Amino acid sequence: MPDSTHPPLVAARLSRTVSPTLGYDLNDLYYFVQVVDYGGFAPAGRELRLPKSRLSRRIAMLEQQLGVKLIHRSTRSFAMTEYGRAYYARCKTMLARVDAAQAVIESAHTQPCGTVRLSCPVALLHAHVGTILTAFAARYPDINIELVAMNRRTNVIRERLDLALHSDPEPWIAQDLVARTLGHSPQCLVAAATLCERLGQPRNPCELRSWPSLAFGLPAPDHVWSLTAPDGTLVAVRHAPRFVTTDLLTLRKAAVAGLGVAQLPAAMVRDQLDDGTLKRILPRWSPRRDVIHAVFSTRKGIPPAVRLLIDFIAQRFEALQDT
């Protein structure tokens, strides 16, 4: 039984789409198949809610373009020619494939699937993104994740990435790319409880200068903590760390071991603060928060799975602001 429960698939979606190579309108193929399926122009016109004359005219144009007769026309009977029967079989197959192709696209919109390839700095991965990505993968089993952990700048287009995550005050954006701010990574100064017992809690940033310190990053002549006072004043605290590393997990271990004060993402030390292993130092003075950006190309549009992941990460970072 012909399917007339929906508007004509090709007619509705392709709307006078003419093949520049073959020279015919794909809608006419659809009309031809419907006329055959319903056994004539009149019944097909009633089901499609189109005038019989319009269907007849469109099929006649198709026959003229093809140079052959597809249908024997008479007032008493409806029959296909030999060419018509062969053409009908192939048109039917082609339209079914068009319908299947459209269904693939529609299912991608309703139930995103596919693979998302992204890069992320190692530190950001340890602090937040690793946990966020595993939660995303668990919620959306039809989406595969390909994660490249790296600390260098990435070229999204050349390296065939869907997006790159960065943690910078300002995003680094190349041509043909856009950046979306996903959120902020709250930071805090912490030290081992044993160290605090020995030295006592500092009352202001100046007293930190007598404390041993740890630093994240590369060795440098000058290491600075940028702190915001309760009244909004910005204070730069210079320190000479005894331990410098580019790995946040190692930095946390050094802090837990009592080697010195460290600035770490709040999410990475939540458990240690809860169990008392670490103590917050100068809790009313806030270190500068890292700004998290997603950099991606819009040259070919954003696939639904990629957009879903970007929104998911943004929602998780928004939740962090309240903790």
pLDDT reported for residue 55: 92
CATH class (in words) of the domain with range 187-287: alpha beta
- Residue 306 makes CB contacts below 8 A (sequence gap 6+) with 116, 162, 163, 296
Q: What global pTM score does this model have?
A: 0.57
- Mean pLDDT in consecutive groups of 10 residues from the start of the chain, 323 residues: 43 39 74 90 90 92 92 83 92 84 69 89 85 95 92 79 81 70 88 95 91 91 91 92 92 96 90 95 90 80 88 86 58
Tell the CATH topology of 9-107: Arc Repressor Mutant, subunit A (1.10.10)
- Give 114-183+290-320's CATH code, choosing from 3.30.420.40, 1.10.260.40, 3.40.50.720, 3.40.190.10: 3.40.190.10
The pLDDT, as a whole number, for residue 284 is: 93
Measured CA to CA in angstroms, residue 262 lies from 160, 241, 272 at distances of 36, 9, 13
Two domains, one topology: 9-107 and 187-287: no
Q: Where are the domains of the chain?
A: 9-107, 114-183+290-320, 187-287
Determine whether 314 is exposed, middle or buried from the number of CB atoms within 10 Å of its CB (0-12, 13-18, 19+): middle
Output the pLDDT for position 174.
61
